[in-house]
Structure 1
Amino acid sequence: MTAVTTKRGQLTCWVRCLLGAATLAWAANSSALELRSGYQVISEAESKTLPWTTGGIVPGNKPGWYYSTNMVPFLGYGQVGTVLVSAAPLATGECVNMFPMASYDGYRGYEIAAGILVIPFGTMTGKMVLTAGTMNPSTNGGTFTPNANPGLNVTSSASWDKFGTGSGDLSTRSDCFGVGTTYTVANAVVEMNTDGGTQAVIGYGVYVKPGTAKMPTKTVYLQAARGYRWNATPSTFDVRTFALTWSGMDCTLSTDASIPFGDITPADVGTPGGISVASTLDMNCSNPSGNAIPVSYSVVPKTQAGDHYSVPLMSETQNGTVNGDVRGFLGATASADAGCVDKGSSMPMDGTKTSLRTVTTGTSWSDPLVWVLCPSAAAAPGPAKATVTLDLNW
């Protein structure tokens, strides 16, 4: 311990009520995913390459290219890529046969039922290479002749946040998510094998408007594709299939957002039981479905990870110095168990989901919650902090 006699320690607990991160199977899930009120991620962003194909029709003297007399709108619609949500698998990347687009409460996405939006988020980027000219005849096997009009060699990119707000080279269509490319020449050929295709890092969230009527189980298909209309090969798609249901289940929690441990002195090091601060975890759940739905919690470190049952309290003045470990104890035996060793009421601090209750109707409860700081003899003087997120899962 240093000669400085006081240290300050604090645990900041960011409280959220989220379903939690889940990347589900590519095939349809055997059981429905129960949605919750508000926003949740149902599939984390995944990196994919969405390749071009040679297309169904190409000029005979330009293999691997596709000719069109109406290039401008198709490029603007989303030739680089589209992200679609539909009730059935789609054969192409064209913006048809999708759920309608809707916006409310600051969120924009595909409306799978009144009050429920599926919202793609992430980034798509791809290059477009075009040569202006005409083909005669403009059918299979014609001869393409370039002209003096400007061609194109450009990379287009668009991003969408978890509210569904887009930025960058957005599609000119308002009914779907896509990457648009600006071009001014109608007659041209577009290369169908440009640098391997489009790079996409796309995930999906769901927003349920509070008070929304319940939705029976519904299967939705989430698809990202390279190309608009012409790229019709199913293997070019990143397809994720989910069975979703909304029973009206909703839970909220209340607990202290900041836990001050106060000034720590050398005499506190090795104190049996550490330095404890009592709190409570107050829960309120509604479940109009009447189905038995288990509710669990998980604690995720936001500063530096520790072990299964603790997170390090990090010095704010000396990078990398651990001033102690913070533990949490939850439930009826929390006060008796609280200390610097693992007990039955110890809270996992590494994201492990831990059961709270099974909810079948509206119910509220309050559980004792005790946070404990176990100071380190090698602590640095000055303030120290640990930050965690406490998530609800159901």
Structure 2
Amino acid sequence: MRVLLSTIGSRGDVQPLVALALELRDLGQEVRMCVPPDFREWIDGLGIPVVPVGPELRATAVSRPAPSVPPAPPSPEQRRRMAEATVAAQFATVTSAAEGCDVIVAATALQLAARSVAETMGIPYVFTAYCPTVLPSSHHHPPLLAPGQPPPATADNRELWARDAERFNELFGAALNLHRAPAGLAPVGDVRSHVFTDRPWLAADPTLGPWPEPADRTVLQTGAWILPDERPLSPELEAFLTAGEPPVYFGFGSMRAPQDLARVMVESARALGHRAIVSRGWAGLSPVDDESDCLSVGEVNQQALFRRVAAVVHHGGAGTTTAAARAGAPQVVIPQIYDQHYWARRIHDLGIGAAHAPGAPTADSLTSALRHALRPNVAARTRVIAAGVRTDGARTTAQRLMTLASQRSS
């Protein structure tokens, strides 16, 4: 069996697919990946063929001073042209990447061409979300796309999902159908439902992010796809960890960070008598001085590090949330966009940390949230939750894909 794994997104979107790719390969299957060019070197190094799609994303995360005059949003005509270019690029790239494959697995909601390519080839297509809130349900509203956007206060969730579907159709419907027609495929009237299918998979841990409708058999929850990490921590980091009490880890992953975030992070740790580890991430965060109570790190084994810190302060990506929960580390989530608001709320509801208000924190607000997360009862609760986090999601999914392919060939 040859599988194409495709996504358009940041490290948090790509890494779960890498975990699945390695499980498939361990089971004797062939795997190819279609991901942004930022990750080609990393995945090539694992011996997995890569077809890059779209532009590099890293440059969009670099922190810059806020402009004196906010840029004007794109006009409807500009949005239409961008949508057409995105869809056209995906059709060309995914069609090439899928040649000779037996199944396509697409992750993230902007995989607009993958299902059409699968239909043309006559092979199965699976859509996967990493968070329950990505999938329509009356129990939650659609993900929030704008940084700092507050959750809707009064609108009915069904109405909000209907509006979300309209936006998909308005933005991508014409471009999608323009490329389906030459292949002899019927036009799509509901773009979002077309991408998601009527039986999506949910690669989220059932304890941390359960599907809210247990009786609903249309969503298959596999568990999170966790990439094992055996890398040692650097000698510098080991020395820092052993030189004092467990520090607080701060990181924003592949996100663009609010201005002055590094200073706010370090001040909040110092206010509570803790040392700090600041992950540079794509935004290039770094401590504001050369004091010995702070350390700047780059790419690091979070699975090993998070077991040795007092708390993890982060943006609320699904991967970081799961890694911290699995390690038993209390969390402070500072959500910015999309599913991060959901994970912040879940961390609060589970009692394993604090949900900071959306947007940019102040030293006082982050200190308050961190103080809550460092309470002994929160630490005790995190250990209980950690014991229930599953680690077999990628293997379970790989086996299901093999079954799916064998059913088609039989």
Q: Structure 1 length normalisation: TM-score?
A: 0.24
The structure with the largest alpha-carbon Rg is 1
Q: Relative contact order (alpha carbons < 8 A, sep ≥ 6): 1 or 2 greater?
A: 1
Higher strand share: 1
